[in-house]
Amino acid sequence: MADESKDIYYVEGTPIPETPLPGKEPPPWRETSVVGKALPRVDAYERVSGSAAYPSDVHLPNMLHGAILRCPHPHARIRRIDASAAAKLPGVRMIISGNTPEADLIWKKDPVGDMRLFEPICRFEGDVVAAVAAETPYQAWDAAHAISVDYEVLPFVADERQALKPGVPVVHPKGNVSKTDRYERGDIAQGFAAADVVLEESYRTECELHTPLEPHGCVANWDGRSLTIWESSQGVYAVQSRVAEVLKLPLARVRVIGHYMGGGFGSKLEPGKYTIIAALMAKLSGRPVRLFLTREETYLCVGNRPPTNMTVKAGVKRDGTLTALEFSVLGTGGAYTAGGTSLADWLARDLYTCPNVRTISTDVFINAGPARAFRAPGHPQGAWALEQMMDTLAEAIGMDPVQLRLKNIPSVSQAREGNPPYTSTAFKECLELGAAAFGWEKARGEARAQRASRHIRRGVGMAGGLWFAGGGRPPSTVVVKLFPDGSANLNMGASDLGTGTKTVMAMVIAEELGIKPEAVQIECADTGTTQYATPSGGSKTVPTEAPAVRNAAVQVKQKLLEMAAEALKVDAAELVYRGRDIASRQDSSKRIAVKDLEALKRQGIVVGIGYRGPNPKNMTTHPFAAQFCEVEVNMLTGELKILRFLAAQDSGRVMNRLTYGNQVIGGITMGIGLAATEQRILDTGRTGKMVNRNWHDYKLPTALDVPVDVTVLPVEPVDTAANNTGAKGLGEPATIPTAAAIANAVYHATGLRITCTPIHPQQLVQRLADRPKEG
């Protein structure tokens, strides 16, 4: 064992950032010695060895197991529930439904009316009908299946494109229109009149499902009047808030723990009905209840990336200047108000300089599961349409696609009131450096040269993107404790989604305190023991939490300087923190080891508290991206093979080069799913049910679909305004341009403009068969 009496966790000779005076913000980093390096995750062993305890691993003494009976119809009224036979089965301890007085709760407020925990009218396949708690999972499911329900099956609409037609069934009494949003700047008619070329095209993206590795669910346990929930969640404080609201409990009596989670991608930003059901059954039974959904359930009721139908009309001058953009989108958030078209038009508003823009977004109800946020909500869909139109415009005016985009680079956010400038933008550099590193011009020429002579054709494509957020979402509070041996403790409420958040935060502390990252012990995501944090999602975690962590570490240094000033009888401003010791700037002989500070010996630790301040006024922070790919298409079979990808990403300062690359490659993989493999299929004509709710029939991209050759090219603008670390969000922008780049590459290879996802062999073969014969 290590000798804990020694200061063994300090790093000798490491440059340490200057410590500001108390009350002053730390200046931006210049060169860093830890931050930016490619370091393995601090919890890597726990994750790969299986010793990390995920919520789905929690098993408590005397625990019951829950199962939910779900509506098998897309639209049905519950006439009667008879659970008498189920209650007599072995091991059954609790059954609740709309007939249970304690379960008559409002689950969520919605513009169409209050959503109850157990709705008398089920408006999508998979809505909850009843729930069972039993001694074993098998007994719980046997009992759920034994519950007799008399349904009045109602007419349904399962296709948003049919939802507004006369005579279709209505999802809610007031009709099928959820909301309509409009945005306009400039004079759209004048903009089209000024254009040399005006083009219009319609596009569609199919619905995608999150399908994280760890299903949604929780374990609930009561201790007197206090409730503890272990939930697979992206934000424990968000779960606490909703549970307390629904169950009418003080926040202080609801503790939510989620130290690890097996993926969420936005679908776990909020709790589910299963959370409340587990808590209720635990309360009524007097025993802990474990309730995790099956894989098949997760396809129906915990969110999706909604389908979108977009039309883009664009005007451009011969020199490449955009004069007008008109973007309309029809989408659905499912059976309830859930943002089916949210942010789908943002790129049309903001990605390129254009004085005349109009967008119309129409959200409709259908009898399908509600949408939830899905990695960069709306943006990949919007990029699918806008970025294909940009390539089409470039071809029409005889301009290279990269050059057309470079012609229209914005320096301000046109979509926000007052046109605030960006804290930094390297979109131009992403395009230029990405094209050079990819070998854009050479690859286009080589693909064109071999096109006419082979049935296997190559093409290259690219697309750009930005994420409308990515600058952080205060508030956030963290606590850093430093021990005399140089080890430290970080206490923060944020969740690590598997993206390496904890590692980045340990690196920030190591940078400021001159210690080893592995010396930082981390407590996270527990409302009972850790500090407040907003949910981890929307690419906000690092730019929100890292500045607070840095501020806490800086405060630790300030307190140590004050202790040393007392010991050395000098002013604290004359001292410099060097990690293992503190010394005078003028007289290096005046120094003292941190572990020898009498004040530290009396206290045992030094505690720093850091807060995330507000985002900068009159500015906005956006990450940008440009992605390039090369594909191969078999003109006989329609098979698509993605050969290589290059992602040039402007997400500000790279905090950890290893996890940075992980994030980008993961984003590209998800984008490949949108472009080429994924599609929720509903039987829209006969039953309204989902017909591919399993991992066999719902085609996630596999290792065989992802190219071996993936290059991640960080483009790092110096951003001193966004926050004190210079970091911007990464998770979302890494997936936004991917699908559109693939579609543009397929067009370059085949001459076919594929406007609907996914680009699978069946669609390509049909399109190839339908096109006029060459020659």
Domain boundary among 300, 326, 342: 300
**pLDDT confidence of residue 448:** 81
Do 437 and 290 belong to one domain? no
Do 746 and 708 belong to one domain? yes
C-alpha 466/C-alpha 408 separation (Å) is 14
Q: What is the mean pLDDT of residues 646-660?
A: 98
**Has residue 193 been placed in a domain?**
no
Answer for the pair 330, 163: CB distance below 8 angstroms, yes or no.
Answer: no
**pLDDT confidence of residue 293:** 98
**pLDDT confidence of residue 14:** 81
- The phi, psi pair for 27, rounded to 5°, reads -70, 160
Do 284 and 358 belong to one domain? no
Answer for the pair 263, 374: CB distance below 8 angstroms, yes or no.
Answer: no
> Each residue of 217-236: pLDDT tens digit?
999 999 999 999 999 999 99
Do 265 and 131 belong to one domain? yes
List the 121-122 sheet strands across, edge first: 121-122, 76-82, 148-153
Q: What is the mean pLDDT of residues 379-404?
A: 98
In the block, tokens 């009496």 appear at 5
Q: Is the pLDDT of residue 773 over 80?
A: no
Q: What percent of the chain has pLDDT over 90?
A: 93
Do 380 and 330 belong to one domain? yes
Domain boundary among 611, 634, 658: 611
**pLDDT confidence of residue 2:** 44
Do 509 and 585 belong to one domain? yes
C-alpha 502/C-alpha 492 separation (Å) is 9
Do 319 and 345 belong to one domain? yes
**Residue type at position 287:** R
16: CB partners within 8 A, 6+ apart: 511, 512, 513, 514, 577, 578, 579
pLDDT band at 449 (very low <50, low <70, confident <90, very high): confident
Do 680 and 599 belong to one domain? no
Q: Is the pLDDT of residue 1 over 50?
A: no
The total of structural domains in the chain comes to: 3
Do 389 and 440 belong to one domain? yes
Q: What is the mean pLDDT of residues 392-406?
A: 98
Where does residue 161 rank: exposed (0-12), middle (13-18), buried (19+ CB within 10 A)? middle
Q: What is the mean pLDDT of residues 659-673?
A: 98
> Each residue of 168-223: pLDDT tens digit?
999 999 999 999 999 999 999 999 999 999 999 999 999 999 999 999 999 999 99
**pLDDT confidence of residue 322:** 98
Do 441 and 513 belong to one domain? no
Do 595 and 657 belong to one domain? no
Q: 587 is in which domain, residue-wise?
A: 8-37+472-611
Q: Is the pLDDT of residue 4 over 60?
A: no
Per the model's pLDDT, the better-predicted residue between 602 and 449 turns out to be 602
Answer for the pair 612, 545: CB distance below 8 angstroms, yes or no.
Answer: yes
**Has residue 561 been placed in a domain?**
yes
**Has residue 47 been placed in a domain?**
no
484: CB partners within 8 A, 6+ apart: 7, 594, 595, 600, 601, 604
Do 599 and 528 belong to one domain? yes
C-alpha 92/C-alpha 110 separation (Å) is 34
Check which CATH number belongs to the domain holding 588 and give it. Answer: 3.30.365.10
181: CB partners within 8 A, 6+ apart: 341, 359, 360, 361, 363
Residue 684 parent element (H or E): none
Q: Is the pLDDT of residue 772 over 90?
A: no
Of 334-343, 520-529, 695-704, the one with minimum mean pLDDT is 334-343
> Each residue of 111-149: pLDDT tens digit?
999 999 999 999 999 999 999 999 999 999 999 999 999
Q: What is the mean pLDDT of residues 572-600?
A: 93
**Has residue 201 been placed in a domain?**
no
Q: Is the pLDDT of residue 7 over 80?
A: no
Find the angle CA(528)-CA(530)-CA(276) to the nearest 5 degrees.
45
End-to-end CA distance of the chain: give it in Å, rounded. Answer: 78
Provide the β-strand partners of residue 173.
Answer: none
Q: Is the pLDDT of residue 723 over 70?
A: yes
C-alpha 488/C-alpha 516 separation (Å) is 10
